[in-house]
């Protein structure tokens, strides 16, 4: 069963930016989506997918992806 959530325009834009960045890093949409739904230590144990309601939180997720791209894994 697929569950749908309603996103406002800002959340949709943040989700798109984060998803594109994650897919570029993981080179695979399935892996990117899995990561977005996984607790990330660098985000205080939060799920990246749960951090898209504010620009500040979404930027934190993008920063973690950027660090991963540069080989910084903590």
Which one has a higher pLDDT value, 15 or 9? 15
The CA–CA distances, whole Å, from 36 to 26, 47, 51 equal 11, 6, 9
Strands (E) in 5-65, as ranges, are none
In tens, the pLDDT along 14-37 reads 999 999 999 999 999 999 999 999
CB 52 within 8 A of CB 15: yes
Mean pLDDT of 35-52: 97
Q: What is the pTM of this model?
A: 0.86
């Amino acid at each position: 069963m697929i569950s749908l959530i309603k996103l406002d325009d800002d959340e949709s834009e943040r989700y798109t930016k984060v998803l594109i960045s994650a897919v570029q890093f993981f080179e695979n949409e399935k892996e990117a989506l899995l990561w977005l739904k996984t607790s990330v230590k660098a985000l205080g144990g939060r799920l990246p997918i749960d951090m898209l309601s504010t620009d500040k939180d979404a930027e934190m997720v993008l920063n973690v992806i950027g660090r991963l791209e540069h080989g910084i894994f903590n």
